[in-house]
Amino acid sequence: MSIEVTHLRKTFGAYTALDDVSLSVKPGQLTALLGPSGSGKTTLLRIIAGLEFADPGSGAVCLDGQDVTALGPGERGIGFVFQHYALFRHLTVFENVAFGLSVRPRRERPSRAEVRDRVQRLLQLVQLDGLAQRLPTQLSGGQRQRVALARALAIEPKVLLLDEPFGALDAKVRKELRRWLRQFHEEVNLTTLFVTHDQEEALEIADEVVVMNNARIEQVGAPQTVYDQPASPFVIEFLGNVNRLAAGVSVGPRPAGADTLYVRPHDVDIRRGADAAGTHALPVKVLHIFAAGSTGRVVLRRLDTGEAFEAELSRGRLAELDLRAGEAAWVVFRHVRLFPDGRYTEADLRGSEIAVS
Ligand SMILES: Nc1ncnc2c1ncn2[C@@H]1O[C@H](COP(=O)(O)OP(=O)(O)OP(=O)(O)O)[C@@H](O)[C@H]1O
């Protein structure tokens, strides 16, 4: 089922939480709503769920082309899971999952046998079939979160909304659960919108990423598109590490108005002495070398502006360079971004080196 929201505006008193937000989510996709705290992600999710309403007359929410703007949450066929999984503490895992079915009006309520079968199937799906009789307190955080998902799925929703579903868990469990969610999504293929402020999480598992900032959508695209072709300085800075450097000193050519150059640490190549001859390399001083970890990192200082920045290279390349802190070197940027007036232009020097004047 597709989700379409158009021109939503939401104010809380004088505060604007959503400012003319339009978004289209394709059926069967796993879409991440990504943005910093306070950017409006939860508000947007709650409006889609029907738990909150946009400012009167400010837009519409459609599910599969049907306008549901005026419908309550129970009438929208949506399942949702929030960060603080509110499982019923006194009910077993089985009873928690069955809850949404048992509170249905009598004529819509499945028989006990049907409920049992459906709950069993759901518990298998979330890989908790052995734990049906446990209480929530006897489960790990990750297991509780999967119970919450099974409970949301029990009503057979057409859309699944997840608000920071793994937010309260530690980093390792989060990683496991996000892979599990991706796999799970491939099995059920339910249109899913999940909120996260973790860019790695969004880039790793989503089909499409919606980047929000300051009550607006900054960019929508596939993970690789938003990472490689960010539409604004905000997006490039929010998605992964990036160095911000002055574009104006010895770095040329550049479009008028572009005074900041953005370069990802993995797009910085370091050259030594003779290797730099004949290239348009920028002279730097090596400040620190971090060789522990899966890749090597080197902190450098530009000689022309004094700015410090970081390069990320493979351990092999780092060993080959055999750098020492304090020595002189040169860098070449494989790929930089410039944003005149805060907008992306095709001033992308992909594949070319930046000339030093
Ligand atoms: N009921 C409310 N009353 C007043 N202000 C609110 C209300 N709900 C949200 N806001 C404000 O609207 C803004 C957007 O909130 P929202 O929860 O949508 O952000 P978010 O991107 O989900 O942030 P987080 O990642 O911290 O959850 C915030 O500044 C918040 O304080």
Q: Is the CB of 41 under 6 A from ligand 1?
A: yes
Q: Is the CB of 39 under 6 A from ligand 1?
A: yes
SS (H, E, C) 292-330: CCCCEEEEEEECCCCCEEEEEECHHHHHHHCCCCCCEEE
Question: Which numbered atom of ligand 1 lies nearest the CA of 42?
Answer: 22
Residue 29 to residue 331: CA distance in whole angstroms: 41
Q: What is the pLDDT of residue 348?
A: 40
Q: pLDDT at residue 38 above 80?
A: yes
For 275-313, what is each residue's pLDDT tens digit? 665 556 788 999 999 988 889 999 999 998 899 999 999
- Which token pair is 144? 């509780």
Residue among 10, 16, 33, 42 whose CB has most ligand 1 atoms within 8 A, to mutate: 42
For 83-99, what is each residue's pLDDT tens digit? 766 788 899 999 999 98
Residue 311 to residue 309: CA distance in whole angstroms: 7
What value does the CA radius of gyration of the chain take, rounded to a whole number of Å? 25
Category of 102 on φ-ψ map: left (φ > 0), alpha (ψ -120 to 50) or beta: alpha
Instruction: Determine if the pTM surpasses 0.90.
Output: no
Q: Where does 155-208 have alpha helices with state H?
A: 171-188, 199-205
ipTM here = 0.93
CA atoms within 13 A on the CB side of 28: 4
For 154-208, what is each residue's pLDDT tens digit? 888 889 999 988 776 777 878 888 888 888 888 888 999 999 989 999 999 999 9
Q: What is the pLDDT of residue 18?
A: 97
Give the mean pLDDT of 258-272: 88
Nearest CA to ligand 1 atom 12: 17
Q: What is the pLDDT of residue 94?
A: 94
Give the mean pLDDT of 122-145: 89
Give the mean pLDDT of 47-70: 93
Cα dihedral sign, 81-62-186-41: negative
Q: pLDDT at residue 79 above 70?
A: yes
Give the mean pLDDT of 219-229: 94
How many whole angstroms from 185 Cα to the centroid of ligand 1? 28
Q: Report percent pLDDT > 70 for the chain.
A: 89
- Which token pair is 307? 């700015």
Contact 315, 291 (CB under 8 A): yes
Nearest CA to ligand 1 atom 18: 40
Nearest CA to ligand 1 atom 16: 40
pLDDT tier at 350 (50, 70, 90 boundaries)?
A: very low
Specify the 3-state DSSP secondary structure of 20.
Answer: strand
Q: Is the CB of 192 under 6 A from ligand 1?
A: no
Q: Is the CB of 73 under 6 A from ligand 1?
A: no
On average, the pLDDT of the chain sits at: 86
- Which token pair is 154? 């029990």
Q: What is the pLDDT of residue 337?
A: 85
At 234, the amino acid letter reads: F
Contact 327, 310 (CB under 8 A): no
The single residue listed with the structure tokens 């937000």 is 21
Q: pLDDT at residue 36 above 90?
A: yes
Q: What is the pLDDT of residue 345?
A: 39
Nearest CA to ligand 1 atom 8: 43
Specify the 3-state DSSP secondary structure of 147.
Answer: helix
Q: What is the pLDDT of residue 105?
A: 73
- Which token pair is 275? 């290797």
Nearest CA to ligand 1 atom 31: 38
Question: Which numbered atom of ligand 1 lies nearest the CA of 40?
Answer: 18
Q: What is the pLDDT of residue 275?
A: 61
Q: Is the CB of 43 under 6 A from ligand 1?
A: yes
Beta bridge partners of 67: 62
How many whole angstroms from 17 Cα to the centroid of ligand 1? 7
For 304-331, what is each residue's pLDDT tens digit? 889 999 999 999 999 999 999 999 999 9
Q: Is the CB of 167 under 6 A from ligand 1?
A: no
- List the Cα angle 249/251/255 in 5-degree steps: 100
